[in-house]
Structure 1
C-alpha cells in the first residue's frame, strides 16, 4: 500500500477555522484527521501541503518512521511545525485502523478503560453569580468537572478565542501593576461556584499564562480554600523554572502542556516535576505518536495526563482513542456545548458522544467519525476568525 495523495479542506467552525485532511492510497483505504491553530490557519495549511509532498509514494503503515522524519528533516521545530505533523500523524493512525478493521485504541495496546472522563467549559462571566450559574448549568447537563478562565481577565470565552476582557486590560503584560483587589475578587468567584455545585464537582481554572511568578503564587494562595482540581498555566508556559517555583509554593496542582511542540519539549517540565498535571494536545504536539510518548514519560514520573482538547469531533476522537489506553489518565478536555455540537454533526458522520461527563469507548475502525466533505466545502475558511485575540 502506498500514499497517492493528501487532500485538505479548511472549514468555518464558528469561532475558529478547522483544517480537515484525508490521506488517500492506491488500495482505496483513506485516513482522515482534524487540526486547528487559531490565528495561523493558513500557515499550518501550507505546512501540511509541504509535509504531504514527503508522504506521497510512501508506505502509510510506517507511522513512527514518518513522525521522526517529518520532524527531524524540517530542522527547525516549534508548534507550527508539529501541528502540521499532528494532522498527518492522526490521519495515518486512522488509515491503519481502517485498513485492519480495528479501532485505533487496539493499535495502541488496547483499552485500559471502557470510559474516558471529560470536562467541559464555562465562561467566567461578569460577576461571581454569573460564573456560578454557568458552572451549575454544566453540572445540570451531566458534567462532573468544569473549567473556566481567569475571572476579571476574560468575561466571555467562545471556544478558542477570548472576547471582552472584563476588568483587566487585554494587552496587559504579566509584569504590569494589577489592581489591589484582583485576588480577592477572583476568590469571590470561586467561592460562589463552590457553593453552587457543592464539594464533589471538579473545578479547574485556566490562566493562559497571564501572571508572573509572584502573582501566580498569590492566586494559588487565594484559591486554596476552594479545592480546585488544577490551575492551568498560571505563568507563561515557556520557562520550566517559573512553573516549578509556582508548583512548589502551591497546594493546588499546577497543569500545563498544550503549547509543547513534542515529547522533547515536554521532557524538561516532566523531569523537573514543574507540573503535576501534564496536558499534551494530540493536534499540537505531533499527533498520537508524540502524545503517547509524552504520556509514557509522565507515567514514569508519577504524573497525570489531562489532555488539552478544545476542538472538534475528529481531534476529540483521536484524543480519546489514546486516552482509553493510558493508565495515568486523569481526564480530557472537551468543548461539548450546544453551540459547538452543531459543527460536530455537520462535518462528520458518527461524531463522538459524551454522556454524563464520559465518552464510552467504541470499536468503530480507525478513529471512528467520517468526514462529510460535501458539507465542509459549503462552509469555507473565514479570514476574520484568524484575526486579533488576547493571548
Structure 2
C-alpha cells in the first residue's frame, strides 16, 4: 500500500478556520484529520501542502518513521511546524486503524478507561452575576467541569478583537502593574461561581500567559479558598523557570502545554517540575505520536494530562482516542457550545458526542468521524480571522 495523494480543505469554523486533511492510498483506504488555528490560515495550509509532498509514494504504515522525517528534515521547529505535522500524523493513525477495521485506541494499546471526562468553557463576562449565570447554563447542559478566562482581562473575545473593551487593556504586558481592584474582582467572580456550582464542580482558570511571576503567585493566593483544579498559563509560556517558581509557591496545581512543539518542547517543563498538569494539543504538538510521548514523559514525573482542545470533532476524536488509553489522563478540554455544534454536524458524519460531561469510548473504526467534503467546500475560510488577534 502506497500513499497517492494528500488533500486539504480550509473552512470557516465560527471563530477560527479549520483545516481538514485526507490522505489517499492506492488500496482505496483513506485517513482524515482536522487541525485548527485562530491565526495563520495560509501559513498552515502551505505547511500541510509542503509536508504532504514528502508522503506521496510512501508506505502509510510507517508512522514513527514519517514523524521523524517530517520533523528532522524541516530543520527548524516550533509549534507552527508541528501543527502541519499533526494534520498528517493524525490522518495516518486514522488510515492505519481503518485499514485494520479497528479504532485508533486499539493501535495505541487499548482502552484504559471506558469514558473520557470532558470540560467546557464559561465566559468571564461583565459581572460576577452574569458569570454565575454562565456557570449555571453549563451545569444545566450536563457538564461538571468548567474553565474560564481571567475576569477583567476578558469578557467576550473573538479571534480578531475584544468585542467589548476589557477592564484590563488588551495590550497590557506581563511586566506592567495591575490595579488594586483586580484582586477583589477575582474574589467576587469565583465566589459567585462557587455559590452557583457548589463545592464538587471542577473549576479552572486560563490566564493566557498574561501575568508576571509575582502577580501569578498573588493570583494563586487569592484563588486558594475556591479549590480550583488548576490555573493555566499564569505566566508567558516560554519560560519553564518562571512557571516552576509559580508552581513552587502555589497550593493550586499549575498547568501549561498547549503551545508545546512535540516532546522536546515539553521536556524542560516536565523535567524541572514546572507543572502539575500537562496540556499538549493533539492538533498542535505533532499529532498523536508526539502527544503520546509527552504523556509518557509526564507520567515519569507524576504529572497528569489534560488535553488542550478548543477545536472541532476530528481534533476532539484524536485527543479522546488517545486519552482513553493513558493511565495519567485527567480530562480534555472541549468547545462544545450550540454555536460550535452547528459546524460539527455540518462538516462531519458521525461526530463524537458528549453527554453528562463524558465521551463514551466507541469501537468505530479509525478516529470515528468522516469528512463531508462537499459541505466543507461550501464554507471557505475567513481570512479576517488571521488579522493580528487577541493575546
**Under TM normalisation by the shorter chain, which class is it?**
over 0.9
2-structure distance, mates of 1:10, 1:77: 23
Q: Give the 3-state SS of the residue equivalent to 1:354 in structure 2.
A: coil
2-structure distance, mates of 1:337, 1:157: 15
Q: Which residue of 1 aligns with 2:374?
A: 374
1-structure distance, mates of 2:139, 2:295: 28
Q: Which residue of 2 aligns with 1:244?
A: 244
Q: Which residue of 2 aligns with 1:84?
A: 84
Query: Which moves more between the two structures, 160-169 or 325-334?
Result: 160-169
Q: Which residue of 2 aligns with 1:150?
A: 150
Q: 1:162 to 1:102 in 2, by over 3 A?
A: farther
Q: Which residue of 2 aligns with 1:17?
A: 17
Residues 1:41 and 2:63 aligned together: no
Q: Which residue of 2 aligns with 1:174?
A: 174
2-structure distance, mates of 1:242, 1:59: 43
Q: What value does the CA root-mean-square deviation take over the aligned residues? A: 1.1
Q: Which residue of 2 aligns with 1:328?
A: 328
Residues 1:269 and 2:297 aligned together: no
Q: Which residue of 2 aligns with 1:313?
A: 313
Q: Give the 3-state SS of the residue equivalent to 1:316 in structure 2.
A: helix
Q: Which residue of 2 aligns with 1:234?
A: 234
What are the residue-to-residue correspondences of 1:24-35 with 2, within 5 Å? 24-35=24-35
Q: 1:336 to 1:255 in 2, by over 3 A?
A: same
Q: Which residue of 1 aligns with 2:204?
A: 204
1-structure distance, mates of 2:8, 2:89: 14
Work out whether residues 33 and 314 of structure 2, in 8 Å CA contact, stay in contact via their aligned partners in 1. Answer: yes
2-structure distance, mates of 1:280, 1:32: 20
Q: Deviation per CA, 1:211-268, whole angstroms, max 9, x where unpaired? A: 0100001111111000001000000000011000000010100000000001011001
2-structure distance, mates of 1:341, 1:265: 32
Work out whether residues 244 and 272 of structure 1, in 8 Å CA contact, stay in contact via their aligned partners in 2. Answer: yes
The total of aligned residue pairs comes to 391
Work out whether residues 152 and 166 of structure 2, in 8 Å CA contact, stay in contact via their aligned partners in 1. Answer: yes
1-structure distance, mates of 2:164, 2:238: 26
Work out whether residues 152 and 165 of structure 1, in 8 Å CA contact, stay in contact via their aligned partners in 2. Answer: no
2-structure distance, mates of 1:315, 1:15: 16
Q: 1:334 to 1:61 in 2, by over 3 A?
A: same
Q: Give the 3-state SS of the residue equivalent to 2:37 in structure 1.
A: coil
2-structure distance, mates of 1:21, 1:53: 13
Uncovered stretches (5+) of structure 1, i.e. residues with no partner: none
Q: 1:141 to 1:126 in 2, by over 3 A?
A: same
* Alpha-carbon distance, 1:390 to partner: 1.4
2-structure distance, mates of 1:376, 1:365: 22
TM-score between both structures, scaled by the size of structure 1? 0.99
Q: Which residue of 2 aligns with 1:124?
A: 124
Q: Which residue of 2 aligns with 1:303?
A: 303
Q: 1:171 to 1:160 in 2, by over 3 A?
A: closer
Q: Which residue of 2 aligns with 1:352?
A: 352
Q: Give the 3-state SS of the residue equivalent to 2:148 in structure 1.
A: strand
Q: 1:251 to 1:160 in 2, by over 3 A?
A: farther
Q: 1:336 to 1:267 in 2, by over 3 A?
A: same
Q: Deviation per CA, 1:105-140, whole angstroms, max 9, x where unpaired? A: 000000000000000000000011111110111011
2-structure distance, mates of 1:183, 1:300: 36
Uncovered stretches (5+) of structure 2, i.e. residues with no partner: none
Work out whether residues 160 and 387 of structure 2, in 8 Å CA contact, stay in contact via their aligned partners in 1. Answer: no
